[in-house]
Amino acid sequence: MTTLAYLIPVALFLGALGLSGFLWALRSGQYDDLDGAAERILIDRDDGAENAPRSK
Amino acid sequence: MSCCAPGAEMALDLVSPVSVLPSSQEVKLASRSLGDDLHQTDLSVPTVHCGACMQTIETALRKLDYVEAARVNLSTRRVSIRWRGDEVPPLVAVLGRLGYPAHLFEADTDAKDKTLSELIRAVAVAGFAAGNIMLLSVSVWSGADGATRDLFHWVSALIAIPALAFAGGIFFKSAWNALRHGRMNMDVPIAVGVSLAYAMSLYETITHGDHAYFDASVSLLFFLLIGRTLDHVMRERARTAVKGLSQLAARGAMVLRGDGARDYLPVGEIEPGMQLLIAAGERIPVDGKIARGTSDVDCSLVSGESTPRSVSPEDTVQAGVLNLTGPLTIEATAAAKDSFLAEMVRLMEAAEGGRAHYRRIADRVSALYAPVVHLTAFVTFVGWMAATGDWHRAMTIAIAVLIITCPCALGLAVPIVQVVAARRLFENGIMVKDGSAMERLATIDTAVFDKTGTLTLGQPKLVNASSIDPAMLAIAADLAAHSRHPYSKAISGFAVSSSQHKFDAVAEHPGFGIEATAAGSIWRLGRRGWAGWKARTGGEGKHGYGGTVLTKNGMIVASFVFEDALRLDTRAAIDQLHNAGMCVAMLSGDTAKACAEVADVLGVDDFVPCLLPSGKVERIESLARDGHKVLMVGDGLNDTPALSAAHVSIAPATAADIGRNAADFVFLRESLLAVPLALHVSRKARSLIRQNITIAIVYNAVAMPIAILGHVTPLIAAVAMSASSLLVIGNAMRLQGFATTVASSETARQDRPARAGALARYS
């Protein structure tokens, strides 16, 4: 019984952590462009093209 | 990475007369101010399809002056650009040069996206609650009792409260709305069942009872929310895809003031009497009268007429007409709200109603279902009260009945089939506006087609190329390359790359043709009466006065015959519809002669030419009065009222804006086989929906007696509920594989005789 007293809060806390993580991801727009994200990883970012030019 | 070598597509695809790129004034008008001198513009770029495209576009746009950020969204095929200053950077031009035609995108979908994120958040919360409560319930079922059980029940009750308030709110609101208007919908038994189960469980918990139904009430919400979210996603995806296509209606026009100043005004601010400048290639925004200039105009979207009309001062033009060859100054005779376009919208609203009283299968079932469920639960309660006199036990069993019969499978049965069917259609380039459109399409028995732009492409095709001297044809093609008149485009397709003729001066005479000088002789390509000024006698020729000819110093050296090119696979599509038991008819605003030719080629036996928009509506309404369920396929502004009058409607992607918005289905590819495919998938979907509803009802027929007799434990209820849901989803998935094989084998079957016929013709 005493174990339950902290195990249940721990379980609920972890679950709530996952839930809030999902809601945060949703709000910050990570699900807006599902196809684009997969392709974007292949692109060399040249945001800072002027300070770090890459040879292609 | 060469899946989309930019530029290749553009070289192949000569700019078609219908795709007019938005001008920078229009871009500015459509942009959104973010405050602090920052503007955001959303452009739809339908040809983006891989990472290389994204990189090309983003790098090119970011290099422009004043552009702060550019980001491509590959899922929605859109790019949003933030820029500073008053001048719009040449966004559309840059994209066009890269080979990605861009269209303006109306950024008014924020409100709808909110519904989706609310639904997804509700699913997440309900899923979290259902998972945790189920864990606690399993330990109760496996023997936890006494204080432990009470503790678990209390924790469950605490978790269930936010879930019910947040996720259940959607159902409570909808049920309350229905009840307030004296109606019943699927949400009423859900709301009643869930809240009764919660209240009863809370009472059990307080009185240290054995059973609590927190798990049942929350997992019920979870499953139902999944169904609802799928339903919403399907509709939203189709809607944004349709919206993101090119905007055909002009948003504004260049107004010429009395003092010579030029202002670009939005359409809504144009008043009668204003002078408007319409460049070649622009659409005319309001009804008007031509003040200066001559040109050819394309009326195909407005009247269904396939031949371009030449206009000169004092002629009247209607809103939506495309100006082809020369600049025009028109005097507006009506404000936008009184123009032809607005007239069509009014006719459309008046014609609506062919489908307004259609009720979705799910709604019809639930109207019957909800009272039955409530009555059964009530009778069970009364029965147990009478038999045992134990109100607590009677209440528990009545709630079990309510929960186990709650339309879990029923709530999933319809949306899941529609999502799978919509996906199947989407893969074949067909967009569905909503699920009820598919249900309606499955019931039709008559298909009515518009001619110009639907059965035909609305673009002329040269038919006598083989009988023309190749050398002359090559000269004509080189000349024609200088004009954007549809006939010129048809001729310029025959250009021979090796022989570039050198013309000294090329001038286009709007309404007449093109004139050029080469090696001392004057070449003209255009109207017979104008180009062949020396061939007075016999000038009428066998193709009539209006034929197009090529002349050298006034002598006719070649004459050209055009006909409207048929859309791809039109014959096969009509044959498939005939095979499916449809009556096929054609309603057109074009001349009887043009209609008869097309009808003859396609084997359409029933056609009515020279119809006004209201005439089309009348024909459809009279068909409906005779008990027919009519499918309307059309693209023009003049078809729009008919599209809304019909039981269900389909429009090609090249259709006018309001036509696309009025239609239930929009097909993006050129082939007309989309129509029989949509019909086939809809019919298949209908039979699957019926099977799914049958499964749900059989499940209830089995489960209900057990529940009424009081043998249902929470465990059984939960397992039965999930099992029936899975069964329904599995059944819906059958549509995916089945439709593919049937559709492809049908195409193959239709292709063979067609190909054989083609061979026979050539040999």
Mutation for testing the A interface, residue in B67, B72, B75 having most A CBs under 10 Å: B75
Q: Which two tokens stand for residue B40?
A: 């955001």
SS3 call for B214 = helix
Q: What is the pLDDT of residue B301?
A: 66
Q: Which two tokens stand for residue B157?
A: 């009750």
Q: What is the pLDDT of residue B545?
A: 44
Q: Does domain B2-107 have CATH number 3.30.70.100?
A: yes
Helix axis angle, B214-243 relative to B169-180, nearest 10°?
80
Identity of the residue in A18, A26, A36 whose CB atom sits nearest the CB atom of B75:
A36
Name the CATH code of domain B252-282+286-338 (choices 2.70.150.10, 3.40.50.2300, 2.40.50.100, 1.25.60.10). 2.70.150.10
B120 vs A48, higher pLDDT: B120
Distances, alpha carbon B301 to alpha carbons B318, B454, B597, in Å:
11, 11, 20
Residue burial B675-693, b: 16+ Cβ < 10 Å; e: rest: bbbbbbbbbbbbebbebbb
CB-CB under 8 Å, B147 with A39: no
CB-CB under 8 Å, B117 with A11: no
Annotated domain spans of chain B = 2-107, 112-242+356-418+713-725, 252-282+286-338, 464-560
CB-CB under 8 Å, A43 with B51: yes
Burial of B291 (0-12, 13-18, 19+ CB in 10 A): middle
Mutation for testing the B interface, residue in A40, A41, A46, A50 having most B CBs under 10 Å: A40
Structure ipTM? 0.73
Q: Which of B7, B92, B95 is nearest to B57 (CA)?
A: B95
Q: What is the pLDDT of residue B345?
A: 63
B136 and B152 in contact (C-beta within 8 Å)?
yes
Q: What is the pLDDT of residue B378?
A: 86
Identity of the residue in A1, A22, A32 whose CB atom sits nearest the CB atom of B124:
A22
Which alpha helices (DSSP H) does B317-467 contain, by range? 340-351, 361-388, 391-404, 408-427, 435-441
On whether any CB of chain A is under 8 Å from the CB of B546, the answer is no
* pLDDT of residue A17 exceeding 90: yes
**Structural domain includes residue A52:** no
Q: How close is the nearest chain A Cα to the Cα of B211, in Å? A: 20
Among chain B residues, the shortest Cα distance to A10 is held by: B132
- B138-171 pLDDT, tens per residue? 888 787 778 888 888 898 999 999 889 988 888 8
Q: Mean pLDDT for chain A?
A: 75
**Structural domain includes residue A43:** no
B298 and B486 in contact (C-beta within 8 Å)?
yes
All residue ranges of chain B with pLDDT < 50 are 1-19, 107-111, 244-249, 353-354, 356, 537-545, 739-763
B686 and B439 in contact (C-beta within 8 Å)?
yes
Q: CA-CA distance, B152 to A15, in Å (whole number)?
A: 16
Q: What is the pLDDT of residue B241?
A: 54
Chain A environment of B155 (Cβ under 8 Å):
8, 12
**B751 phi and psi angles, rounded to 5 deg:** -70, -40
Mutation for testing the B interface, residue in A33, A34, A41, A45 having most B CBs under 10 Å: A33
B248 and B16 in contact (C-beta within 8 Å)?
no
Q: What is the pLDDT of residue B237?
A: 62
**Structural domain includes residue A47:** no
Full residue range of the structural domain in which residue A13 is found:
2-33
Q: What is the pLDDT of residue B647?
A: 86
**Neighbouring C-beta atoms of residue B619, cutoff 10 Å:** 19
CB-CB under 8 Å, A12 with B74: no
Query: Would the pTM of this model clear 0.90, i.e. be above it?
Result: no
* Block residue for tokens 């979907």: B685
Class of B464-560 in CATH:
alpha beta
On whether any CB of chain A is under 8 Å from the CB of B159, the answer is yes
**Structural domain includes residue A13:** yes
Q: What is the pLDDT of residue B662?
A: 75
CB-CB under 8 Å, B73 with A36: yes
**Structural domain includes residue A49:** no
* pLDDT of residue A6 exceeding 90: no
CB-CB under 8 Å, B132 with A11: yes
**Neighbouring C-beta atoms of residue A13, cutoff 10 Å:** 9
Q: Mark out chain A residues that contact chain B at CB-CB < 8 A.
A: 1, 4, 8, 11-12, 15-16, 18-19, 22-23, 26-27, 31-36, 39-40, 42-43, 46
For chain A, what is the domain count? Answer: 1
CB-CB under 8 Å, A22 with B54: no
Among chain B residues, the shortest Cα distance to A3 is held by: B148
